[in-house]
Amino acid sequence: MIARRQLAIALAATLLLAPSLRSHAATAPTAPAAAQADAAPAAPPALYLGAAWYPEQWPESRWDTDLALMQQAHIRFVRVGEFAWSRLEPSEGHYDLDWLDRAIRAAQRHNIAVVIGTPSAAPPAWLTTEYPETLRIEEDGKRAQHGNRQQFDWSSPKYRELARAMAEQEARRFGHDPNVIGWQIDNEYANASYGPSTQAQFQNWLKARYGTLDNLNARWTTAYWSQTYNDWSQIPIETKPGNPGLLISWMRFVSDTWRSYQKNQLDVIRANADPRQFITTNMMGFFNGYNNDLVAQDLTMASWDDYVGTGQLNPVSNGAAHDLTRGFLRKNFWVMETQPGSVNWSPDNNPLNKGEVRAMAWHDIGHGADAVEYWQWRSALNGQEEYHGTLLGADGNPNPLYPEVAHIGADFAKAGPALAGTSVQSDVAILHNYDSYWAIDWQRHNKAFDPLATMIDWYGAVRALAHSVDIVSPSVPLSQYKLVVAPALNMITEAQARNLIDYVQNGGHLVLTQRSGMKNIDNGLYTQLQPGPLADLLGGHVAQFYALDTTIPVSGTWGTGPTKVWADMLTTTSPDTKVLMRYGKTPLGWLDDQPAAITRQVGKGRITYIGADLEGAPLAAAAKWMIADAGVQPEFGTLPPGVDLYIRKDATHEVWILINFGAAPQTVALPTAFTNVLTGTGGATVHTAALKQYDVVILQRPTSTPGGKP
């Protein structure tokens, strides 16, 4: 213990932190005067640094010590209670919220706000024992057991009744608490249930959606393999490859059920809470167990849990997950959990490198996060996540990472005023659609065709040039974007098609890629060849598609390269549709000299279809072509290797965040004069930014025109 204290003190001393921080491990903080307990909360910061705190796991005599350490690290909020149901309701109908009140008051004394997590992700043993029907049924027909978390049945009326009652008790007690700033409903929605009760609900859902069995049978083509239903009770739950209409309907039911499960608690919180208190839930990036976009629509703001797991941070794929989350409600979001160095659930739980945690936090902010919370504050002494990274060890003293997080907190405090009210504003959007993801994943046709990887490839190529990309649903208004890229948009509803057609006809540039426009709303094939309802606008279509077991050369406007996984053979049906790329000659024969990419100008707009699986130089050239054609003109050009740029702005100024994730030091020449937010004094300006690995530079400048040019 002594050695650990000495290590913590030495590490803290390497940072420019308050003297009290450098001595915190040796001396327990003095409890504030009782008169401070009722002090009004301080003004909220523009950027929140947070930690997941579990006061129910520790003696109350320890609380002020923990909170003082948080305060010294500039931690401004804690999330509490999301796994504490057994402490909040020790037995049915007997609630104990006094301890939570005392924890909130203790946090308030240290100028730390509170987000309350409703505890429905971890039901108590009395509940699952008294009401075993609330335990979910696994796909193999076995009932989940107590002893873990998320063992509940999200469709169970009894579970919803009990979860709502618990949330109502909390909301009545804390809905007007000045130190409670928001609510997180449940924790990481994940698991469906497959029992008879859920199946009956699914059948009723289908009846409400389709009206008659004749309609359902027709739209699902159930005449195939004699699947025709003549009673609603005959319809099964199907999660593995089967009838595409049944599969997509189940996933939509799962999504609707998560939304109603959430609304069951959300409504009672909203009825008893101040409007100033936000309501969110912590999603999981590209987790596709339900339609996150749909479930987010009832929330005040979106949030997600940002973990790397094995290896180091990939700014492209991780950035895409941020932009996806921001796109759910098309506004700033929170990172409600992130890893403090390492996790415990990955095959190899290596730590992030020294400095990488700070770089990752600023990466979050650059993509539109206004808060970053570390999971968790201190190692639990038992339970399934004993090995997970923390800021404090099991002995209660800071880990080596603590000073780096304190550095982040100091950064947030200094840079917050510059970033207050700013947001990410993009000229380019990538379309992401859960229906399309599911549809392809069930019928990959080539096991190597990964719809998520395809999207990330296009996202990375376009973002490298545009420096800012939104990821949104094909159903949202698109008029703000000059360029919209829709990778593998396999399923397009008639309403979405109308939205995309209007976008092009009003001057936008729409780019479709392989496998787009094949499926209708019921996951059935369109009778019009790909891209289905967009084929007339394109002035061309996919004559045939091929899953490849060999490499096919492609060449044309964007150079020469291979396509290895998939090839859509295109044909033009309009004289003003132009061929951009063609396939070369191979033993396959069918694709020889056939169009691999075509485009058509429609008034001031354009629609392009890329049927080849581009990579490397042709992918980069295609991205450059579409950026230029769409009139996207980022002020900054190509960045040095390893350096990433994020821009947030409001009506008066913009903030540039530069991070070097590469090993080699880099110097970035800036297009105009900026003020260095973290180091600048006296109004001095800079024209270059020097960055070693994991260095972060925050710059700002005023804007005087809508385009952001000074």
Q: Give pLDDT tens digits for 286-337.
A: 999 999 999 999 999 999 999 999 999 999 999 999 999 999 999 999 999 9
Average pLDDT of 614-621? 97
Residue % of the chain over a pLDDT of 70: 93
CA atoms within 13 A on the CB side of 451: 25
pLDDT, position 383: 87
Q: Give pLDDT tens digits for 46-64.
A: 999 999 999 999 999 999 9
pLDDT at residue 384 is higher than 90: no
Contact (CB, 8 A) for 698 and 690:
no
Average pLDDT of 589-609? 97
Average pLDDT of 501-510? 98
Average pLDDT of 418-440? 98
Q: Give pLDDT tens digits for 61-74.
A: 999 999 999 999 99
Lowest mean pLDDT among 226-235, 321-330, 376-385, 408-417: 376-385
pLDDT at residue 122 is higher than 70: yes
pLDDT category at 516 given cuts 50, 70, 90 is very high
Beta strands in 231-368 (DSSP E): 278-280, 282-283, 303-306, 333-338
pLDDT at residue 103 is higher than 80: yes
Q: Prior bond to 641 cis, omega within 30?
A: no
Contact (CB, 8 A) for 82 and 119:
yes
pLDDT category at 683 given cuts 50, 70, 90 is confident
- Write down the residue that tokens 């004993």 correspond to: 386
Q: Give pLDDT tens digits for 632-663.
A: 999 888 899 999 999 999 999 999 999 999 99
What CA–CA distances, in Å, run from 353 to 337, 360, 432, 664? 19, 11, 32, 15
pLDDT at residue 3 is higher than 50: no
pLDDT at residue 694 is higher than 50: yes
Q: Give pLDDT tens digits for 550-582.
A: 999 999 999 999 999 999 999 999 999 999 999
Q: Give pLDDT tens digits for 359-377.
A: 999 999 999 999 999 999 9
The predicted model scores a pTM of 0.93
pLDDT at residue 9 is higher than 70: no
Q: Is 92 a catalytic residue?
A: no
Q: Give pLDDT tens digits for 258-294.
A: 999 999 999 999 999 999 999 999 999 999 999 999 9
Q: Give pLDDT tens digits for 462-499.
A: 999 999 999 999 999 999 999 999 999 999 999 999 99
pLDDT, position 620: 97
pLDDT category at 38 given cuts 50, 70, 90 is low
pLDDT, position 157: 98
pLDDT, position 704: 57
Residue type, 322: H
Sheet holding 643-649, edge to edge: 643-649, 653-660, 696-702, 666-676, 686-691
pLDDT at residue 35 is higher than 60: no
Q: Please, what's the b/e burial string for 496-509 (b: 16 or more CB within 10 A of its CB; e: otherwise)? A: bbebbbebbeeebb
Find the catalytic residue in 89, 168, 170, 337. 337
Backbone angles phi, psi at 326, to 5 degrees: -60, -30
Whole-number average pLDDT of the chain: 93
Bridge partners for 428 per DSSP: 483
Q: Give pLDDT tens digits for 211-222.
A: 999 999 999 999
pLDDT at residue 18 is higher than 70: no
pLDDT at residue 224 is higher than 90: yes
pLDDT, position 39: 55
Q: Is 188 a catalytic residue?
A: yes
pLDDT at residue 16 is higher than 60: no
Return the structure tokens found at 156.
């169970």
Cβ contacts of 181 within 8 Å, gap of 6 or more: 44, 77, 113, 114, 115, 276, 277, 278
Find the catalytic residue in 89, 168, 188, 356. 188
pLDDT at residue 230 is higher than 70: yes
Residue % of the chain over a pLDDT of 90: 89
pLDDT category at 145 given cuts 50, 70, 90 is very high
Contact (CB, 8 A) for 270 and 278:
no
CA 457 to chain centre: 17
Average pLDDT of 117-125? 97
Domains of the chain plus CATH, in order, are: 2-193+258-419 (3.20.20.80), 428-629 (3.40.50.880), 643-702 (2.60.40.1180)
